[in-house]
Structure 1
Amino acid sequence: MTPVFTTRPSWQTAPAPLARAVEARVGSPIIGFTDVHGGMTPGPAATLSLGNGDTVFVKAMSAHVNARSHELYQQEAAVLAVVPATVPAARLRAVIEIGDWIALVTDHVRGAVAGPPWTTAAVAAVARACAATARVTAPESLPPVLARLPDLDGWVNLAAEPGDLTGWEARHLDRLTAATIGWRTWTSGRFLTHQDIRGDNAIVDPAAGVAVLVDWGSGAAGAPWLDRALLAADVVAAGHAEGPGIARQQALDLLTDQPVEASRFVIAQAGMWRRNSTLPAHPGMPTHRAWQRARADALQPLIEDLLAMIDT
């Protein structure tokens, strides 16, 4: 289930002044490029081959095309500017703003996206990257995670307007809502969190077994288990190469040694996706709501396990 909601234009469509500014900042002419596709933003992204033999990654966005994505790129630039070198993130080379355009230039990370579908090796590599991130105290300039989290009152909101509930949701609704109460308090903390862990937001070098986290626009200070919980949710929601049973077991393994709030967070994520799937489509992203619904539905078997753990 690859989250592709829009078609990225080619890097060659980027404004010429922006491309020239990139060359000036990296100190070498661009002699070739390979477009990168996928993800949720409708701006060009590419690996650039430079005349000095170097390779960098660039992504760009116009506020006129998508104001929210432009804002996220600004947020990502601020995060990457302050994260320590111990964090598994691509290093920021340059931030270029010309007119309503912004471009981020980072180190090129070798490897492939972790998924979907996930593999056991990719789950392990990304879990290690999440653990390394969680050991870092968030830089003071980063906001609290509550400023970056979506509304996680999905099950509570659905309970107030239950007309669209499935039988499974209706049977479990009281426990689902109870499990998510208080999320604004228990997600808080002082540790660095990427806060957007998905298979397409991690690059894995299979030979080294190392993962680098990318797309840091939601980076914040929060609870140390947040990224691990997001990983567990995505392994099940996005799918595993060995099937849903393996995905479910690996998600449980990721959550078993974590505070109970990590399991409650996964339940809240599902509620957020399920509630948001009932809203009007985003402009230019006609498949996004169906993707959210599919993720919420896929998490139901895992949620039954988590509810049982919470109840004991």
Structure 2
Amino acid sequence: MDVHGGGSRLVWTDVPVSVRARIEELVGAAVIATTTATGGFSPGLAARVALSDGRTVFVKAVGTATGPGSADLLRRERDNLARLGSLPFASRMIASSDDGDWVAVVFEHVTGRAPNPSVAAERARMIRAFEEAAASLTPSPIEAETFAARAPDDLDGWARTAPGDPAALIDPWISANLEAVRTLAEGWRDAAAGASLVHGDLRADNMLMSGDDVVIVDWTEVCVGAPWLDWVLAVPSVCLFPGTPSPESVFAESTLAATAPAAGVTSIVAAVAAYFLRSAVRPVVPQLPTLRDFQREQGVVAAAWLRERVDAGLS
């Protein structure tokens, strides 16, 4: 799940000279030009890097002081990719360096862009990537914590939310049905259980379309859970794009929806709404100024989806 949010990215010249030198040592060539990536939610360096020998690579780098937990997140991605090895649909790590403060990871460069879920054909290709990943990663090829063990505390948020709480008041239907919503969310742990490796943060901005291929990036949050879990977690972000159908209609566009138990999906959606809406009313994180708005927007979609499912008897 989203655990960090958009901020101002570092550019190449923001990175300490000593770290830049280490990156050049890793790639065996001088950096002659960089292009900072757009989209995504890391405050560190994320840039396409042109090298003096004609190659192009993608580099992420972040220091301990760059953003809350950002260096540890990049270390986690590095370690996850090292354990996963080469997957046809996953970003490929070339090298990494870590001095205990700044961590840098070099990836193969992928020529592509994030899919636009507003475009039906691109949304369909994006959905197929979810399905292909679920099929390839079931059972999980590596040992990892369960989704329940790794999930944020606020998936249990409705249990700690009283009537009149600012998080509940964001959505009038949630506020009016808080007790029922609390009950629906209680079963999310059992619902999320499974044997698949789950990406855990698989949104459109963590995918790159290159022709008919889709490469999945940002493997920070991997865990073990139900094969349809990534798709349920993604629907609120997909439906932020103008022109997409209702959340339930979008969810049903994937074959993964047919394998997911209705009550289990509803429980996850209720818990996800708690996570996003309760997170949205917390203080702004200075390094990640757009985080709370992004969480609020997804929380509103998740709440609308929950009501849609309850009204349809899918609970």
TM-score interval w.r.t. the shorter chain?
0.7 to 0.9
Native 8 Å contact 2:236 2:301 kept in 1:
no
Question: Are 2:299 and 1:299 equivalent residues in the alignment?
Answer: no
Native 8 Å contact 2:248 2:308 kept in 1:
no
1:265 to 268, 285, 302: 268
Supply the distance in 1 between the matched residues of 2:28 and 2:224 (Cα, whole angstroms): 34
User: Which position in structure 1 is the counterpart of 2:110?
Assistant: 109
User: Which position in structure 2 is the counterpart of 1:189?
Assistant: 194
User: Which position in structure 2 is the counterpart of 1:81?
Assistant: 82
Q: Aligned letter for 1:101?
A: W
In structure 2, do the counterparts of structure 1 residues 154 and 4 end up closer, same or farther at CA, with 3 Å as the change threshold? closer
In structure 2, do the counterparts of structure 1 residues 124 and 311 end up closer, same or farther at CA, with 3 Å as the change threshold? closer
User: Which position in structure 2 is the counterpart of 1:138?
Assistant: 140
Native 8 Å contact 1:111 1:204 kept in 2:
yes
1:148 deviation in Å? 2.6
Supply the distance in 2 between the matched residues of 1:67 and 1:198 (Cα, whole angstroms): 21
What SS class does the counterpart of residue 142 from structure 2 fall into?
A: coil
User: Which position in structure 2 is the counterpart of 1:5?
Assistant: 6
1:80 deviation in Å? 0.7
Question: Are 2:152 and 1:150 equivalent residues in the alignment?
Answer: yes
Native 8 Å contact 2:248 2:309 kept in 1:
no
**Could you state the TM-score of these two structures normalised by the residue count of structure 1?**
0.87
Supply the distance in 2 between the matched residues of 1:239 and 1:247 (Cα, whole angstroms): 11
2:164 to 150, 162, 165: 162
2:204 to 196, 199, 224: 199
In structure 2, do the counterparts of structure 1 residues 53 and 227 end up closer, same or farther at CA, with 3 Å as the change threshold? same
Supply the distance in 1 between the matched residues of 2:132 and 2:23 (Cα, whole angstroms): 31
User: Which position in structure 1 is the counterpart of 2:17?
Assistant: 16
Question: Are 2:280 and 1:277 equivalent residues in the alignment?
Answer: yes
User: Which position in structure 2 is the counterpart of 1:95?
Assistant: 96
What SS class does the counterpart of residue 59 from structure 1 fall into?
A: strand
1:268 deviation in Å? 1.7
**Higher mean C-alpha deviation, range 75-84 or range 4-13:** 4-13
Q: Aligned letter for 2:225?
A: G
Supply the distance in 2 between the matched residues of 1:309 and 1:194 (Cα, whole angstroms): 29
What SS class does the counterpart of residue 81 from structure 1 fall into?
A: helix
1:64 deviation in Å? 2.1
What SS class does the counterpart of residue 245 from structure 2 fall into?
A: helix
In structure 2, do the counterparts of structure 1 residues 121 and 148 end up closer, same or farther at CA, with 3 Å as the change threshold? farther
Supply the distance in 2 between the matched residues of 1:15 and 1:272 (Cα, whole angstroms): 36
**Could you state the TM-score of these two structures normalised by the residue count of structure 2?**
0.86
1:39 deviation in Å? 2.5
Q: Aligned letter for 2:286?
A: P
2:214 to 208, 211, 216: 211
What SS class does the counterpart of residue 140 from structure 2 fall into?
A: coil
Native 8 Å contact 1:127 1:231 kept in 2:
no
Supply the distance in 1 between the matched residues of 2:132 and 2:201 (Cα, whole angstroms): 15
Native 8 Å contact 1:29 1:51 kept in 2:
yes
What SS class does the counterpart of residue 56 from structure 1 fall into?
A: strand
Supply the distance in 1 between the matched residues of 2:62 and 2:257 (Cα, whole angstroms): 40
Supply the distance in 2 between the matched residues of 1:23 and 1:142 (Cα, whole angstroms): 32
Identity of aligned residues (%): 30
Which runs of structure 2 are paired with 1:67-78 in the superposition (5 Å)? 67-78=68-79
Deviations 1:100-132 (A, max 9, x none): 1001111112211124x6432232222222222
What SS class does the counterpart of residue 96 from structure 1 fall into?
A: strand
Question: Are 2:233 and 1:230 equivalent residues in the alignment?
Answer: yes
User: Which position in structure 1 is the counterpart of 2:42?
Assistant: 41
Length, aligned pairs only: 303
Q: Aligned letter for 1:199?
A: A
Gaps of 5+ in 1: none
Deviations 1:181-218 (A, max 9, x none): 1222332322111100222111122x31x221111110
What SS class does the counterpart of residue 186 from structure 1 fall into?
A: helix
User: Which position in structure 2 is the counterpart of 1:290?
Assistant: 293
Native 8 Å contact 2:269 2:305 kept in 1:
no
